[in-house]
Amino acid sequence: MNEMSKLAAGRISLAHGGGGKAMHDLIDQIFAARFKPQSREDQARLKHPALLEPGAQLAFTTDSFVVSPLEFPGGDIGKISVCGTVNDLAVGGALPLWLSAGFILEEGFDIATLVRIVESMVCTAEEAGVSIVTGDTKVVDKGKGDGVFINTSGVGVIPPGRELLASSVKAGDVAIVNHRLGDHGAAILAARGDLALSASIASDCQPLNGLMEAVLRVAPHVRAARDATRGGLASSLNEIAQEAGVGIEIEEKLLPIHSEVRGVSEILGLDPLYLANEGTLVLFVPEAEAEAALSAMKATSAGHQSAIIGRAVKDHPKRVIMQTLFGGRRIVDMLVGEQLPRIC
Amino acid sequence: MNEMSKLAAGRISLAHGGGGKAMHDLIDQIFAARFKPQSREDQARLKHPALLEPGAQLAFTTDSFVVSPLEFPGGDIGKISVCGTVNDLAVGGALPLWLSAGFILEEGFDIATLVRIVESMVCTAEEAGVSIVTGDTKVVDKGKGDGVFINTSGVGVIPPGRELLASSVKAGDVAIVNHRLGDHGAAILAARGDLALSASIASDCQPLNGLMEAVLRVAPHVRAARDATRGGLASSLNEIAQEAGVGIEIEEKLLPIHSEVRGVSEILGLDPLYLANEGTLVLFVPEAEAEAALSAMKATSAGHQSAIIGRAVKDHPKRVIMQTLFGGRRIVDMLVGEQLPRIC
């Protein structure tokens, strides 16, 4: 075995976080060999013409990922860590450019798994058109972590004139989602072995920046978009209702939900409206641009299941109400407590 | 008790990471109340005139912090998490502007401790003149974390014309440090209770951006600077020797080391050259600017212990050699293995 394959066949030790030779070898052979940073300085140094445009804003966001298990149908912690941060930038109208990656490894963690995760990050970053430009590695003792936690932070540019804000949503605006709800939450449940699910549910984990750009080209007045991750669609809608001071009405019959996700949720007493997503957003657009936005979304690979699900209204400000399948109306509140820990 | 003091008297539960009401309360009452973000969007939106200058570069860096214990003489994980990232930007010649903060909390973690840590971050950010503009909170189950881990990422601007690079160091350049070596490592050892140390050793944990700006005003040709954190001064010097292809010679008698740190190191078989620092850098400057750089450093609060410790040489390229107190010469190699786990 050469030096690299010897390392890749091993396990993480505390020395891999110690700042010495073992750490440099890990960084060289596992991280730098795949992320290909421009230099070995302590910080990436970056230029982009979009940053220089008068009126452009820099967008900056961060997310740590602690999902368990590390690999699941449709994704893994590496893919999620790239999609999550890309999507947090994209829903603000930013063009995501650069990501950082910080790893907290547990002593004893299998390096072959780490390599798969890193390769998944590289592959997802390529798909999203972003570069992972800087990173960090720490190691904690056995029993003080859980395999690997990943933080990604992201920097992007919001072109001049774009101002997507939850507080800008107005009564009459149409709410559109791009994907079936709750697939990620259900896929994680299945991967934990807590219930028998067929293989047909996979996480929706995907970058949404391409979809956002496609929408904004034809519907430049999109008011706001939210990535419906932890807390699901219900939490995103409640945040928007709060910020904008509007009511929101959705119709249960319009919500795209996989029949198996619906079935599992019924059995377990979960609600797909609160299940996490990792590649599903909800956006609000003035009615005049709603059809154009929907068509543009449907034409993207991340949005072929797109559907109008309701609208913002003058009534019941700051409340989200759902018209149920049976003709009743119920309040869709902010999630209290939680459905599933360590979903992302 | 009002709602806020009730929360602050409690402990972290998995629901605090679940995306619902408990998480929003934690974010509102503990984080947002102190970090005061500009909005509740998923990404900070930022402008700074320095970014628009033609030739300016954006600097971007990340670090996760897992130091144990969380609080120690001279600092805590919050202070370290701000200083570490500010310093990674500063040693590249960047003006640090904005930080992100990602928290991984363990179920059961004492919220009063979290509040102290967050207040320490706010206070340190103010000292360094940076803003913490975006954040994230995750919770892992008891036994899968260790109280709190913090990731900070940082964005800054490198003014046009500045190009500090380890590879630019040339034979004849003078090496200067700003602080006694190894205080942080020794303070952590003492805080772990592994040995009886007097209270006179405190971590050097401090922001270095003010010092870097002071140096660069009078010594614009500083070639490179490195933050001598994990792996200590020895690792930073070895990295520079490698990148620049020069030899480096230092003199033991010139190294500023606290007598207690020296004593403890002798007893434990540690070497202060490899002990971690959190507010100590080494920089290389052409001889013609060395005295000016030294004086400017000494005039700052972070640099009153500054000292010339050696220089880059043509001989023994990529090797660091130390002239010992006894007149001998020894190789100062890259750290193999590690001295202390979870030092930062």
A231·B19 Cβ contact <8 A: yes
Over 60: is that where the pLDDT of B204 sits? Answer: yes
Alpha-carbon separation of residue B150 from A62, B67, B106 (angstroms): 12, 9, 12
Two tokens at A208? 């949404």
Average pLDDT over residues A157-181: 97
How far away is chain B from the Cα of A88, in angstroms, using its nearest Cα? 6
Domain B3-158 has CATH 3.20.20.70: no
- Enumerate the residues of chain A whose CB falls inside 8 A of the CB of residue B336: 20-22
A274·B20 Cβ contact <8 A: yes
How far away is chain A from the Cα of B211, in angstroms, using its nearest Cα? 17
Query: Mean pLDDT in chain A?
Result: 94
- Identify the helix (H) or strand (E) that includes residue B224: strand B224-227
pLDDT tens digits, one per residue of A196-233:
666 678 999 999 999 999 999 999 999 999 999 999 99
Q: Closest Cα to residue A144, out of B4, B141, B235, B314?
A: B141
CA distance A260 to B295: 71
Q: Which ipTM value was assigned to this complex?
A: 0.96
Whether the domain at B3-158 and the domain at B166-331 fall into the same CATH topology: no
The domain A9-158 belongs to what CATH superfamily?
PurM-like, N-terminal domain (3.30.1330.10)
- Neighbour-count burial for B99-118, b at 16+ CB within 10 Å, e otherwise: bbbbbbbbbebbbebbbebb
Q: Where are the alpha helices (DSSP H) in chain A?
A: 3-8, 21-26, 33-35, 49-52, 77-90, 111-128, 183-191, 209-218, 232-244, 259-268, 287-298
Q: What is the reported pLDDT for A194? A: 67
**Chain A, window 295-314: residues with a beta carbon less than 8 angstroms from a chain B beta carbon:** none
- Identify the helix (H) or strand (E) that includes residue B238: helix B232-244
Average pLDDT over residues B315-337: 93
3 state DSSP class of B285: strand
CB A103 within 8 A of CB A152: no
Query: Of B18, B140, B334, which is closest to A230 when you measure between CB atoms?
Result: B18
Does B193 touch chain A if contact means CB atoms closer than 8 Å? Answer: no
A62·B136 Cβ contact <8 A: yes
Residue contacts between A and B (CB atoms, under 8 Å): 269
B133·A60 Cβ contact <8 A: yes
A51·B51 Cβ contact <8 A: yes
Does A315 touch chain B if contact means CB atoms closer than 8 Å? Answer: no
Q: What is the DSSP string of A184-216?
A: HHHHHHHHTTSS---TT--------HHHHHHHH
pLDDT tens digits, one per residue of A6-32:
888 899 999 998 888 889 899 999 999
Which residue of B lies nearest to A230 if distances are taken between CA atoms? B19
Provide the residue ranges of all domains of chain A, joining segments of one domain with +: 9-158, 166-331
As to burial, measured by CB atoms within 10 angstroms (0-12 exposed, 13-18 middle, 19+ buried), residue A72 is buried
CB A23 within 8 A of CB A17: yes
3 state DSSP class of B307: strand
Q: Considering chain B, what percentage of its residues have pLDDT values greater than 90?
A: 83
How far away is chain A from the Cα of B161, in angstroms, using its nearest Cα? 13
Residue A339 phi/psi, 5-degree rounding, is -90, -50
How far away is chain A from the Cα of B144, in angstroms, using its nearest Cα? 5
Does A287 touch chain B if contact means CB atoms closer than 8 Å? Answer: no
Over 90: is that where the pLDDT of B79 sits? Answer: yes
Query: Of A43, A151, A229, which is closest to B88 when you measure between CB atoms?
Result: A43
B230·A51 Cβ contact <8 A: no
Q: What is the reported pLDDT for B197? A: 62
- Enumerate the residues of chain A whose CB falls inside 8 A of the CB of residue B43: 59-61, 88-89, 91-92, 94, 154, 156
Over 70: is that where the pLDDT of B195 sits? Answer: no
Query: Of A47, A60, A138, which is closest to B44 when you measure between CB atoms?
Result: A60
Strands A148-158 vs B320-323: parallel, antiparallel or unpaired = unpaired
Strand order in the sheet with A131-140: A131-140, A95-106, A148-158, A57-65, B44-46
CA distance B241 to B303: 24
Q: Closest Cα to residue B59, out of B24, B95, B22?
A: B95
B60·A230 Cβ contact <8 A: no
Report the CATH number of the B166-331 domain.
3.90.650.10
Q: Rounded to 10 degrees, what is the CA torsion of A159, A164, A168, A171? A: 120
- Identify the helix (H) or strand (E) that includes residue B287: helix B287-298
Strands B75-76 vs B174-177: parallel, antiparallel or unpaired = unpaired
Cis peptide leading into A49, omega within 30 of 0?
A: no
Query: Mean pLDDT in chain B?
Result: 94
Does B320 touch chain A if contact means CB atoms closer than 8 Å? Answer: no
Alpha-carbon separation of residue B287 from B176, B213, B284 (angstroms): 11, 19, 9
pLDDT tens digits, one per residue of B120-160:
999 999 999 999 999 999 999 999 999 999 999 999 999 99
A337·B149 Cβ contact <8 A: no
Average pLDDT over residues A240-252: 97
- Identify the helix (H) or strand (E) that includes residue B209: helix B209-218
Query: Of B94, B135, B235, which is closest to A43 when you measure between CB atoms?
Result: B94
